[in-house]
Structure 1
Amino acid sequence: MHASHDVLIVGGGLVGASLAIALDRIGLDVGLVEAAPPGALPAVFDERNLSFAEATLNALDALGVLARLRAPTGPIRRIHISRRGDFGRTVLEAQRYGREEFGRVVVARDFGEALEARLAELPRLLRYRPVRFVGLADGGDGWRAVRLADGAGERTVRARLLVAADGTRSGVREALGIGTEEHDYGQTLFVARLRGERAPDGTAYERLGRDGPTALLPRGDRHYGLIHGVASDDADAVAGLDEAGFLARVQDAFGWRAGRLLSCGARSLYPAIRVLAQRTVAARAVLVGNAAQTIHPIGAQGFNLGLRDAMTLAELIEDRRRAGDGDCGSDALLARYLERRREDRERTVGFSDGLARLSANDTELMRPLRSLGLFAFDRLASAQSFLVGGAMGYRGDVPALCRNDRAAAVSGGERGGRA
């Protein structure tokens, strides 16, 4: 006899774990396939700094995850955007839009520990760990069959819906025969914790440049979360710099808005490569998070977009169950998922890619046009509203939990609010 679930999620990272929590709260039988053994966090939960939009915070609060964060988080009260070598800048102020903050900065490791604490409380969730995805099998009518392996050998697990949340190089996506479109930006991003002469004041800085952004995010520990882009050809040389040399390079790229940069923690680096799945659904299967789209981190949209994938899927399944349809992998549900996610995905991917390409274009003609654009965004309310809506996670058809619409989430009222 094969084990069977309503939903089987492959990948226990940020999006997969969040989806498991959302599905458990509506009473589903969920299996979660994780590569990390008990007591260890997935590699994605490292010292990276995650910028959570307001919509993301709303959902994580409703799921009971925010309350389990132990380290202080950093509020983002304003966003300062500029480009090295160009005049003009754009400053977005949360108070101008009736908010105390646009979002918060959370350290990935602390977020991973909060998710783990919440997962441990779920009464129905079955966790397969450490287990790896091997491939697909014939599940029979109305089922997906998934081959899993661990130290004891191989087994087959069936599910009404298979969710690929296994990251950029998704094995599930490949097994489903879904191709990808890739673009290498030729940039490598260095991530670290950095201390400046001036403590963070709630400003998130996005300093654009030819070789990628240099961003300083206000953490909750009086440090900044640094993202520093360099040309990929220079990555090895930059990785070899000592602390003083690296700080001097960042200071030159960023400027003096945080005063003198004083110290820097351990550095990690990641290539900037966009990977888009050509399809995000198949028969009784769906891709979410980085398995569906891995985008340039400029503007800090990646995880926020993936979480909205997960919350929309959970909402649709809950609505179907309330209507008396318990098949969470039906063609009708997946078609509705595609419809609900299309606008948000297209607009967010387009914004991220366009900003990355535009900021890297160093031609003489582009520089004054880009500077005028920064000036216009700083002066025009309609242009600012476009940026603010995206920064807060309100693009397209927004799931109820992300809107903090508790009444709709509980009573089954109007769903699918738009922004």
Structure 2
Amino acid sequence: MNDSAPFDANNNILIVGGGLVGASLAIALDAAGCRITLVEAAAPRADAQPSYDERNLALARATVNGLTAIGVWPLVAAQATPIRHIHVSRAGEFGSARLDATRHGVDALGWTLPARELGAGLLRRLDACTQLVRLAPASLVGLQQHPGGWRAQINTPQGEQYIDAALLVGADGTESFVRAQLGIEVETHDYQQTLFVCTVTPERDPAHRAWERFSDEGPIAMLPLAERRCGLVLTVPAEIADEVAALDDAGFLALAQQRFGWQLGRLQRPGRRHPYAIRRVAARQLISTRAVLVGNAAQTVHPIGAQGFNLGLRDALTLAELVADAHDPGAAALLDQYAARRAPDRAGTMAMSHDLVRFACMPQPWLAPFRSLALLAYDRVPPLQRALARRGMGFRGQPPRAVLERLP
């Protein structure tokens, strides 16, 4: 095909971006019998060897239900660690909130999983897809709009290709090229914070318990992993990020210990630290003519509460659910329905992460009793406890059907 050939979308769906969300969407659409082309910037690669130093994901219960529905979870479940308890507190204040899986009638509130393991599971599941064409490594370099869809110019190692599609999906991350080409503006908020992520081994077994602890300097989280390890997520003000990055292991552990406390005893064996500047980037709209944004291309949220991939997967599964029942995957009415379905979950999740950072980390002393009373209310008042647990497990708004299915 070349750029002068007759346009023929033939209900093809073009997904730009083969990360966790884009790959999940491709799998879900393939299972529904859709024709899909997936453009991935990097060549597929599954790391064979586990590493002490790796990024870990906190997967909500709804996310695991969704991954089960598309056949990915059985491929990775053996490497996952259940989260059965969550403890939320604020340094120097008396209130705290605790969530317990048994109290809410489930075996786990969520799971932790190395991102590498989920990526490998997605690759294995992609290999079994029958309607999917994968171009990797490949990059989108141009778009031309047609009455029935989009013609995309793709650069590959084999040369230039043109792909016609009735629906264009931007799943290409925070700096989305698709979003820019569609002319969709974004709202950006710089939190002036830097996140440091690493693995540590505490003196005491975390016993399937996760912690979120707030302070004037920002939140710190500890996630349970296999082999008595924990994933440490430490937020610091941006102005001291270089200083923290320059600390030796002993200095970094001392800072983490001071911020987290001694609930797990002494923290030991820090892995390689990975810093991330924290910004919120939200597209002003999710849809355009025969085009839609999902995952970080639609919204990149503060990592507090680990909502990024969980929210993005609900984007993907909602879109797949609507497209599976449609004659035309790019129809305006379908995309309007998608935007309406995603609005409550998207707005609620973004507001929760944004407002929680502002409220829980503000240094004003007069806020302390109000914060403590709010945490105690979530801990002690059953309706508030149920609402907190439901949202924490990823059930907000009108979830896609796939996330409501039972775990095997």
| TM-score, normalisation: structure 2 | 0.94
2:241 to 228, 235, 253: 235
1:386-416 deviations in whole A, cap 9, x for unaligned?
Answer: 211111110000111100169xxxxxxxxxx
Partner of 2:349: 348
- The 1:405–1:282 alpha-carbon spacing in structure 2 relative to 1, beyond 3 Å, is farther
Distance of 1:35 and 1:286 partners within structure 2: 19
C-alpha deviation, 1:119, in angstroms: 0.7
Partner of 1:207: 213
Is 1:307 paired with 2:313? yes
Is 1:30 paired with 2:30? no
C-alpha deviation, 1:150, in angstroms: 2.6
Question: Which secondary structure state, in structure 1, belongs to the residue aligned with residue 265 of structure 2?
Answer: coil
8 Å Cα contact 2:34-2:324 kept in structure 1: no
Distance of 1:70 and 1:77 partners within structure 2: 16
1:59-112 deviations in whole A, cap 9, x for unaligned?
Answer: 101111111127621111011000112221111111111111101001101111
Question: Which secondary structure state, in structure 2, belongs to the residue aligned with residue 233 of structure 1?
Answer: helix
Distance of 1:54 and 1:292 partners within structure 2: 22
Matched to 2:171, the amino acid is: A
Residues 50-59 or 129-138, more deviating:
129-138
Distance of 2:46 and 2:260 partners within structure 1: 36
Partner of 1:381: 382
Question: Which secondary structure state, in structure 1, belongs to the residue aligned with residue 363 of structure 2?
Answer: coil
Question: Which secondary structure state, in structure 2, belongs to the residue aligned with residue 69 of structure 1?
Answer: helix
Distance of 2:78 and 2:231 partners within structure 1: 14
Is 1:176 paired with 2:182? yes
Question: Which secondary structure state, in structure 2, belongs to the residue aligned with residue 204 of structure 1?
Answer: strand
Is 1:86 paired with 2:87? no
- The 1:70–1:54 alpha-carbon spacing in structure 2 relative to 1, beyond 3 Å, is closer
Partner of 1:49: 56
Is 1:112 paired with 2:112? no
- The 1:149–1:246 alpha-carbon spacing in structure 2 relative to 1, beyond 3 Å, is same
C-alpha deviation, 1:155, in angstroms: 2.5
Is 1:264 paired with 2:270? yes
Question: Which secondary structure state, in structure 1, belongs to the residue aligned with residue 226 of structure 2?
Answer: coil
1:278 to 284, 292, 308: 284
Matched to 1:381, the amino acid is: P
Question: Which secondary structure state, in structure 1, belongs to the residue aligned with residue 280 of structure 2?
Answer: strand
RMSD: 1.7
Partner of 2:394: 393
Matched to 1:193, the amino acid is: T
Is 1:297 paired with 2:298? no
8 Å Cα contact 2:40-2:136 kept in structure 1: yes
Distance of 1:295 and 1:212 partners within structure 2: 15
Superposition misfits of 4+ residues, deviation over 6 angstroms:
none
Partner of 1:130: 137
Distance of 2:131 and 2:253 partners within structure 1: 48
Distance of 1:297 and 1:190 partners within structure 2: 11
8 Å Cα contact 2:79-2:117 kept in structure 1: no
Partner of 2:366: 365
Is 1:69 paired with 2:69? no
Distance of 1:110 and 1:14 partners within structure 2: 11
Partner of 1:323: none
C-alpha deviation, 1:40, in angstroms: 6.1
Structure 2: tracts of 5 or more residues without a match: 3-7
Matched to 2:139, the amino acid is: R
8 Å Cα contact 1:75-1:220 kept in structure 2: no
Question: Which secondary structure state, in structure 2, belongs to the residue aligned with residue 166 of structure 1?
Answer: coil
Distance of 1:327 and 1:239 partners within structure 2: 51
Matched to 1:86, the amino acid is: E
Q: Work out the number of aligned pairs and report it.
A: 397
Partner of 2:334: 333
Matched to 1:101, the amino acid is: A
Distance of 1:241 and 1:294 partners within structure 2: 29
1:21 to 19, 27, 30: 27
1:200-233 deviations in whole A, cap 9, x for unaligned?
Answer: 2111100112222110001123210110001111
Matched to 1:74, the amino acid is: T
Distance of 2:76 and 2:82 partners within structure 1: 14
| TM-score, normalisation: structure 1 | 0.92
Distance of 2:142 and 2:297 partners within structure 1: 16
Question: Which secondary structure state, in structure 2, belongs to the residue aligned with residue 68 of structure 1?
Answer: helix
C-alpha deviation, 1:124, in angstroms: 2.0
Matched to 1:63, the amino acid is: I
